[in-house]
């Protein structure tokens, strides 16, 4: 049974790129009847806010991606501290006193000599007396994890075998000068404590993975399976950023995108399978397969989301959309669903049938002739045909000449659902008034 987690920092709004990560993790947990954890990476007290955390929960709930447990890193500092001292005892975590400027100078020199800009570990040769002197000088240490000398390899669920040679990355800082653990330490401790079995995240984290694997081993944790998916790029070819807000879930919701339409889009974007509407999350779970995920960065295009949303609505059975329709019944939904881009437009059509509109009339005589041959009520879906047949006989008009003036008079618009379906909802009195050019 897989235990997965989605670990956003509550420093911005959820965007489509995050949701793809969340969705894959959610699916992997569900496929095995496992556990899906929502972990808020909020160690950065300055940038993390409760409002962003709440926004993330709301977006996840709206998408239907229910989580079994929630954790906040800001409540777990004790655990990070324990891990820290354990590593110190093992001699794997060592204090360093270089300032950012000193480190930058060191890197420039290394680059100038054609060497990789890897931290030279000089702090490890400081004597206790030198350390005391630095501290008396007011310097506070940051702490680095001593990486091993062996290559680290792992089998990525998406990228296949990945190998890291030693000596190419600096010993990572696990505890900052102010005592706050970095993401690397906090994340590994959480993954271990929570029994996480699969870490699936964006490709931007692949370079952290070798370090995390070493850290898990040093802390005695069970091995984790990793998967890194390519990041979405925006239609303009730029990366999506939660700070600039591109593709924010809340904006898409506001726009009228259906949650399942967005889930459907993200379930298939960047895979070898066609994008198609899903109406049940269970089907998304069943259809998901790592083997279909492409190695190329998929292009996120809001226009594609809109197109799929429309397609999704056209095919949406009443049951899956009933909440958004409120008092509208299933017959009415079936009538209008082929003509809406957003579910709320169903209400617009309801109002067109039941509330005032301004009819568009360019031939009053024709409209009057049509009104004269309206069949008596009660009306049903056969009324339209009987009526237009009578109008045709009366006026000699046919085709568009016949239908368009009636549509414009009855709805005020030149497009829309079948009038045969709308007519009974309007009723004789209203139809007569509209044909007479009255607002009705």
Q: Which is nearer to ligand GLU, 98 or 191 (CB)?
A: 191
Q: Which is nearer to ligand GLU, 7 or 313 (CB)?
A: 7
Q: Which is nearer to ligand GLU, 211 or 340 (CB)?
A: 211
Q: Which is nearer to ligand GLU, 242 or 268 (CB)?
A: 242
Q: Which is nearer to ligand GLU, 231 or 410 (CB)?
A: 231
Q: Which is nearer to ligand GLU, 216 or 275 (CB)?
A: 216
Q: Which is nearer to ligand GLU, 9 or 35 (CB)?
A: 9
Output the smallest distance, CB 190 to ligand GLU, in A: 9
Residue (of 421, 423, 394, 393) closest to 406 by Cα position: 423
Output the smallest distance, CB 118 to ligand GLU, in A: 23
Output the smallest distance, CB 285 to ligand GLU, in A: 20
Residue indicated by tokens 């949406």: 316
Output the smallest distance, CB 304 to ligand GLU, in A: 25
Output the smallest distance, CB 6 to ligand GLU, in A: 8
Q: Which is nearer to ligand GLU, 8 or 417 (CB)?
A: 8
Q: Can you give the binding site for ligand GLU, defined by CB under 6 A?
A: 7-9, 41, 187, 199, 201, 205
Output the smallest distance, CB 3 to ligand GLU, in A: 13
Output the smallest distance, CB 201 to ligand GLU, in A: 4
Output the smallest distance, CB 244 to ligand GLU, in A: 16
Output the smallest distance, CB 426 to ligand GLU, in A: 53
Q: Which is nearer to ligand GLU, 191 or 258 (CB)?
A: 191
Q: Which is nearer to ligand GLU, 249 or 440 (CB)?
A: 249
Q: Which is nearer to ligand GLU, 41 or 59 (CB)?
A: 41
Output the smallest distance, CB 102 to ligand GLU, in A: 28
Q: Residue 6 in contact with residue 25, Cβ under 8 Å?
A: yes
Phi, psi of 156 (to 5 degrees): -80, 135
Convert the chain into a string of H (helix), E (strand) and C (coil): CCEEEECCCCCCCCEHHHHHHHHHHHHHHHHCCCEEEEEECCCCCCCCCHHHHHHHHHHHHHHCCCCCEEEEHHHCHHHHHHHHHHHHHCCCEEEECCCHHHHHHHHHHHHHCCCCCCCCCHHHHCCHHHHHHHHHCCCCCEEEECCCCCCEEEEECCCEEEEECCCCCCCCEEECCCCCECHHHHHHHHHHHCCCCEEEEEHHHHHHHHHHHHHHHHCCCCCCEEEEECCCEECCCCECCCCCCCCEHHHHHHHCCCHHHHHHHHHHCCECCCCCCCCCHHHHHHHCCHHHECCCCCEECHHHHHHHHHHHHHHCCHHHHHHHHCCCCHHHHHHHHHHCCCCCHHHHHHHHHHCCCCCCCCCHHHHHHHHHCCCCCCCCCCHHHHHHHHHHHHHCCCHHHHHHHHHHHHHCCCCCCCHHHHHHHHCHHHHHHHHCCCCC
Output the smallest distance, CB 325 to ligand GLU, in A: 36
Q: Residue 192 in contact with residue 221, Cβ under 8 Å?
A: yes
Q: Residue 381 in contact with residue 294, Cβ under 8 Å?
A: no
Strands 225-229 and 198-202: parallel
Q: Residue 95 in contact with residue 121, Cβ under 8 Å?
A: no
């Amino acid at each position: 049974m897989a235990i997965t987690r989605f670990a956003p920092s509550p420093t911005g709004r959820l965007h489509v790129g995050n949701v793809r990560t969340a969705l894959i993790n959610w699916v992997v947990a569900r496929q095995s009847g496992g556990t899906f954890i929502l972990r808020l990476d909020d160690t950065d007290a300055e940038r993390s806010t409760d409002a962003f955390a709440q926004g993330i929960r709301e977006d996840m709930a709206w998408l239907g991606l229910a989580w079994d447990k929630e954790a906040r890193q800001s409540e777990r500092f004790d655990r990070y501290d324990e891990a820290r001292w354990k590593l110190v005892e093992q001699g794997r975590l060592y204090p360093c006193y270089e300032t950012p400027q000193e480190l930058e100078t060191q890197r420039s020199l290394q680059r100038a000599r054609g060497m990789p800009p890897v931290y030279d570990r000089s702090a490890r040769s400081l004597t206790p007396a030198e350390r005391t002197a630095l501290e008396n000088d007011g310097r506070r240490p940051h702490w680095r994890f001593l990486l091993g000398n062996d290559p680290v390899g792992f089998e990525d669920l998406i990228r296949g075998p990945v190998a890291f040679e030693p000596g190419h990355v600096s010993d990572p800082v696990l505890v900052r000068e102010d005592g706050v653990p970095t993401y690397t330490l906090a994340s590994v401790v959480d993954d271990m404590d929570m029994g996480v079995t699969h870490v699936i995240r964006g490709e931007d984290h692949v370079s952290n993975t070798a370090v995390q694997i070493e850290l898990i081993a040093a802390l005695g944790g069970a091995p984790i399976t990793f998967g890194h998916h390519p990041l979405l790029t925006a239609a303009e070819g730029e990366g999506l950023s939660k700070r600039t807000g591109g593709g924010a879930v809340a904006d898409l919701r506001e726009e009228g995108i259906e949650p399942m339409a967005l889930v459907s889009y993200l379930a298939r974007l960047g895979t070898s399978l066609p994008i198609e509407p899903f109406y049940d999350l269970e089907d998304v779970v069943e259809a998901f397969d790592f083997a279909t995920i492409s190695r190329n960065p998929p292009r996120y295009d809001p226009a594609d989301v809109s197109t799929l949303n429309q397609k999704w609505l056209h095919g949406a059975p009443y049951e899956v959309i009933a909440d958004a329709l409120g008092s509208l019944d299933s017959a009415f939904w079936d009538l209008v669903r082929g003509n809406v881009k957003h579910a709320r437009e169903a209400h617009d059509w309801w109002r067109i049938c039941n509330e005032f509109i301004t009819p568009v009339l360019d031939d009053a005589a024709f409209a009057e002739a049509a009104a004269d041959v309206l069949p008596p009520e009660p009306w049903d879906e056969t009324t339209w045909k009987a009526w237009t047949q009578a109008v045709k006989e009366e006026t000699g008009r046919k085709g568009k000449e016949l239908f368009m003036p009636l549509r414009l008079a009855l709805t005020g618009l030149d497009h829309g659902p079948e009038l045969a379906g709308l007519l009974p909802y309007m009723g004789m009195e209203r139809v007569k008034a509209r044909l007479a050019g009255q607002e009705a």
